[in-house]
Amino acid sequence: MTDQTTLSFASKSTPADGVAVVFAEEGPKLSGSAEDLDKKSKGLLTRAIGITGFKGKKEQTVDLIAPQGLKFARVVVLGLDKPGSYEPEDWVSLGGTVRGLLTGKEAPAAHIYLETASGEVAPADVASFALGALLRGYKFKKYKGKARKANGAGDGGDKSLKKIVIHCGDPKAAGQAFGWGRALADGVMLARDLVNEPANILGPAEFAQRAKELTKLGVQVELLAPKTLQKLGMNSLLAVGQGSEKPSYVAVMQWKGAGAKGGEPIAIVGKGVTFDAGGISLKPAAGMEDMKGDMAGAACVVGLMHELAARKAKVNVVGIIGLVENMPSGSAMRPGDVVTAMSGQTIEVLNTDAEGRMVLADCLWYAQERFKPKAVINLATLTGAVMVALGKEHAGIFSNNDDLANKLIAAGDSTGEKLWRLPLGPKYDKMIDSKVADMKNTGGKWGGSISAAQFLQRFIKEGTPWAHLDIAGTAMSSVDSEINRSWGSGFGVRLLDRLIADQYERR
């Protein structure tokens, strides 16, 4: 859910109520606003700094409740260390840190005097800060405490934060720069909402409807229902969904922000398994609930399309997501089954839990056949093995194109949605040769993320630049960061926004 807190920009001199946040550089050297408060309070801040040994180091704070001589309920001084050498991402992270300090407990309003000891913060950095603050404020609380509240119980004492005002040198310019940040925040939070939503509420049909809602922003959305998928020959994708009561869908979302001059689109393809029970090769019970998040790739695609449309990006992008539920039942696909994918290649199903690649196989092929894209990028919570290799800090990237891979890695470094490249190659490809069909859907014990990627590559045409992002470790059950406390992180939206802005957008 989007943060209920409103966020606005204002010039420096404004009312003294609520919570104030001011900054100091290493030393500590106080910002102008911090010095003002110090004077008004007859040296309260300098006294507190002396007592606590605050040096203005990063994330160091001095926290004053009911400060004598000031109307603020609370004043926080936060260390910035050396803001002169901040990258844009450091400002995003700082916004998250500050938002984390604000609980709304002391007062419903917070005034952030975003200024360093050396002076004003550039409008673009103020906007980055605001983005971080919004992202940190996200909480998925749709299913919490409604009935209890209606009964007059619940967390009645919740004086949560109502508004954040960021005081800065040029509030108008900051507000303008923040147009993009607002779009990004909305896109990321949409992706998080989709990932956090349980699978009884968000099945393939409901997910497809959420994609359809992008129509409001000017995205052309088509929903391909099972009959159409059959006609297209998407038997690989359909085989995964055939054990479920819930019909499978593919959603095709076109954003044509660059018009005819923009040429062929970039295709972004997402795995949208709304629940992955494993099928007949059933997963163990422990932790199976996490598999509601096995649609994080698709969620990222929808979040990205939202973001691109919201900021009217000058680029042509098509998003394609395969929406299925992988369940065991009398109609489920069996180990040993052979299916013919849309490309005409046959797949021997050795493990019905290796379903994501089967969904993507048809989506990737469809994307290339219909759109002749400039490049194809897919995102998928594809393998547990990628977490064995990389933990939860990096997503895995596999690519047939060094240039595309490097650009994605660079976009990852600058947004903090980091990627680490893993290899592809003919010897790995052999791992998925099958005795009875063109390929099998698992590659044996070792290098599970690589054999999965090799499988996908068999559905990429010669000459199509392609990258596969294995986001199993980064998009769900994600580790806390300064800008994320949600189970579903929305990973990939900011990364792909950056790639598109830097590499593909018309100016």
Q: Which residues are catalytic?
A: 283, 357
- Pick what 383 binds: ligand BES, Zn ion, Mn ion, none; C-beta below 5 to 8 Å, kind-dependent: ligand BES
Give whichever of 275 and 466 is closer to Zn ion, judged by the CB atom.
Answer: 275
Instruction: By CB under 6 A, tell whether 244 contacts ligand BES.
Output: no
Stretch that binds Mn ion, among 30-38, 177-185, 348-356, 403-411 (CB under 5 A): 348-356
Q: Is 354 an interacting residue with respect to ligand BES (CB under 6 A)?
A: yes
Query: Is 441 within 8 Å of 341 (Cβ atoms)?
Result: no
Q: How far is the CB of 235 from Zn ion (least distance, A)?
A: 18
When asked if residue 434 is in the footprint of ligand BES (CB under 6 A), the reply is no
For residue 397, the one-letter residue type is I
Instruction: Region of 309 please: left (phi>0), alpha (psi -120 to 50) or beta.
Output: alpha
As beta bridge partners, residue 111 has: 20, 165
Query: Residue 385 CB, nearest distance to ligand BES (Å)?
Result: 5
Minimum distance of ligand BES from residue 209's CB (angstroms): 23
Nearest to 219 by CA among 317, 330, 130: 317
Min dist. Cβ of residue 294 to Mn ion (A): 7
Q: Three-state SS for 271?
A: strand
H-run or E-run covering 247: none
For residue 507, what are its two tokens? 């100016």
415 near ligand BES, judged by CB under 6 A: no
Chain mean position to CA 36: 39
Interface with ligand BES (CB under 6 A), residue from 385, 439, 453, 496:
385
Residue 432 CA to residue 159 CA, distance in Å, equals 57
What distance in Å separates the CA atoms of residue 248 and residue 354, rounded to the nearest whole number? 17
Count of H-run helices and E-run strands, the chain: 16, 20
Residue 381 contacts ligand BES per CB under 6 A: yes
Residue 254: name its binding partner from Mn ion, Zn ion, ligand BES, none (Cβ under 5 to 8 Å by kind).
none
> How far, in Å, are 33, 144, 193, 424, 474 from residue 419 at the CA level?
39, 34, 23, 15, 10
Does 325 bind ligand BES (CB under 6 A)? Our answer is no
Question: What DSSP assignment string belongs to 461-489?
Answer: -TT--EEEEE-TTTSSSPPPBTTB-SSS-
Q: Does 353 interact with Mn ion (rule: CB under 5 A)?
A: yes
| Tokens read off for 367 | 């994307």
Separation between Cα atoms, residue 92 and residue 175, nearest integer Å: 15
The beta strand positions in 66-158, using DSSP E, are 74-79, 109-113, 115-116, 119-120
Residues in the interface with Mn ion (CB under 5 A) total 3
Going residue by residue from 180 to 209, which x/- string records binding to ligand BES, judged by CB under 6 A? ------------------------------
What character string, x for contact with Mn ion (CB under 5 A) and - otherwise, covers 217-256? ----------------------------------------
In terms of CB distance, is 368 or 383 closer to ligand BES?
A: 383
Q: How far apart are CA 197 and CA 287, in angstroms?
A: 16
One character per residue 470-499, x = contact with ligand BES (rule: CB under 6 A): --x---------------------------
Residue 351's binding partner out of Mn ion, ligand BES, Zn ion, none, with CB under 5 to 8 Å set by partner kind? ligand BES
Going by the DSSP 8-state scheme, the letter that residue 80 receives in this structure is -
Identify which range of 101-109, 233-241, 313-321, 349-357 contacts ligand BES by CB under 6 A. 349-357
In 156-254, which residue ranges form alpha helices assigned H by DSSP?
A: 171-196, 204-212, 226-232, 235-241
Residue 325, binding choice from Zn ion, Mn ion, ligand BES, none, Cβ under 5 to 8 Å by partner class: none
Among 186, 193, 276, 348, binds Mn ion (CB under 5 A): 276
Would you tell me which residues interact with ligand BES (CB under 6 A)?
276, 294, 351, 353-356, 381, 383-385, 442, 448, 472
Residues in touch with Mn ion (CB under 5 A): 276, 353, 355
